[in-house]
Every structure is written in C-alpha cells, then in structure tokens.
Amino acid sequence: MNHQVRIDRFRSARGDHTLVVLEGFHPLKHAIRFGAELLDVVAAEDGDLEKLVAEYAPDAAAKVAEHVRVIPADVFAKLAPVTPPTGVIAIAMRPKVSPVQMLDDQDPAPVVMLENPRNLLNIGAVIRVSAAAGAAGVLTTGPQDPWNPAAVIAATGLQYAIPVARIDSLPACHRPLVVIDPGGEPLRQGLLPSNAILAFGAEREGLSRELLARATHCVSIPMAPGVSSLNLATAVSAVLYAWRLGL
C-alpha cells in the first residue's frame, strides 16, 4: 500500500463506525488479546515495537508479526492527530454489540450505564475499570462515541474485553436500575442488588430527573464534609469494587 493511500485510510477510519483506530501499543495489545480482527498495523521505523511486545505482550507476538508493516517516521506522524509515543497504530473491525442481549443476560454482574458523559477520557477510564472489575458491559447515552480513538486510548483498548455500546435511551428490562447519585442512601453492605444496571450521571449535570424517577434504588458514595462529588470514573471504580468485594 502506498503511503498516501495509508494516510487516507487512517483518516477515513476515524469517521467509520464499523472500524476502530487503535493509537498506541497498549490498545493494540488488548485488542489482540480479546480477539479483534486487525485490518492494518503500522509501526514507525524508529519505534520500539519489538521490545514492547517482548516485555508486555509476548502472547500477542505472533499476531503483531503477521500484520505489522514498518513505515518511515515522517509518514507515521501523519496517521494520528498526536503521534503515539509507542510508535504503533492500527485499524481493527469494531465488534457488533447487542445492548438488548447485554441487558437480557441473567448473570449477576452489573451493567454500567453512563448517562450523557462528556469527557472521552472519563469514558475510557470507566470502560477500563469495568473490564477489570468484571462488569457485564458498558452502555452510554448522548453524542460521545465510547469507541472514539481517545476513549480507546484511555481504556487501553479494553472495549474489546467487554461489550460496549452507545444507545439512544435505556430500554425497559428486568434488571434493577440502581442510580448512583450524591443524594442517595449511603453505600453499605447489601445495597447493590445482583444483575443490576448501575447508572451514573454526566460530569456537570449529574443524572436526569427521568432516570432518577425510574430507579429501584438510589445509592451514594460517602464523602468527607465539604466535598461535592467524585470524578465520574472514580465514582464508577468505587461502586464496582464495592460490588466485586461483596459489599
């Protein structure tokens, strides 16, 4: 593939919702580990890809070797708005995710729902901790795409580890809806039901009245006097690990 064709391909992949741009080594590592279908993997000629693979992901070595093409550093620099310091960037297929299937699942693990989140780094951090804690998936509403390359960087590509999708609104389902809100009942043992949807609000506005009104439980994370709220991703981490540790 000639260099201009590749530059154009990466540019158009950013606007294609069937594809994912993986900027950097750690998103690529997790994408491979969790079964992504890779379309194009390119490394800068002056990068450290071999060393990174040997050190952090020997399990991904065969896939990287099968797909990678080494290109000049000046061409590599044109493939992303900010050049990945790890010297690798890739395009992969976006998996098809069924929110209905995710919500229908009877597994005790919770679904994390973010209502209208604004910050892509928060969205990525939420996906990362949701994958780590063993959540059933992450759903978002609002305009932000949880597969946006910036969210993929922040999640280190763990969008591939659990189902992640954007929805227009939360459909009716059998799962108990637990809203996590500073005005709720302080979190304690026994307050998080099994198989729940854990819903978190936007960074500035918090949760909408509509979602608060639909909730079966409203839970807060206790804070020291004078503190207004936690960062969105931090709040998700606290609640997910309370659930994981059996609180």
Binding site for ligand SAM (CB under 6 A): 180-182, 200-201, 203, 206-207, 220-221, 223, 229-230, 232, 235
Please, how many CA atoms are within 13 Å of residue 69, restricted to the half-sphere of its CB? 15
CB of 201 to ligand SAM, least distance (A): 2
Identify which of residues 91 and 235 has a Cβ nearer to ligand SAM in the complex: 235
Q: Find the shortest distance in angstroms from Cβ 220 to ligand SAM.
A: 4
Compute the least distance from the CB of residue 189 to ligand SAM, in Å: 17
Least gap, CB of 93 to ligand SAM (angstroms): 32
Phi, psi (degrees; rounded to nearest 5) at 92: -135, 165
| 148 or 229: CB nearest ligand SAM | 229
Nearer to ligand SAM, 78 or 214 (CB): 214
DSSP H or E run through 178: strand 177-186
Tokens for 70, please give them.
Answer: 């080494």
Closest to 155 measured CA to CA, from 176, 175, 171, 138: 138
Nearest alpha-carbon partner for 3 in 75, 55, 66, 69: 75
- The distance of closest approach from Cβ of residue 178 to ligand SAM in the complex, given in angstroms and rounded to an integer, is 10
Helix (H, G, I), strand (E, B), or coil: what is residue 70?
strand
Name the residue nearer to ligand SAM (CB basis): 98 or 231: 231
Q: Which is nearer to ligand SAM, 28 or 112 (CB)?
A: 112
In angstroms, the CA 138 to CA 102 distance is 9
Least gap, CB of 233 to ligand SAM (angstroms): 9
Q: Which is nearer to ligand SAM, 39 or 230 (CB)?
A: 230
**Distance (Å, rounded) from C-alpha 122 to C-alpha 132?**
15
The percent of the chain in helix, strand and coil, each rounded to the nearest 5, is: 35, 20, 40
User: Residue holding tokens 């950013």?
Assistant: 14
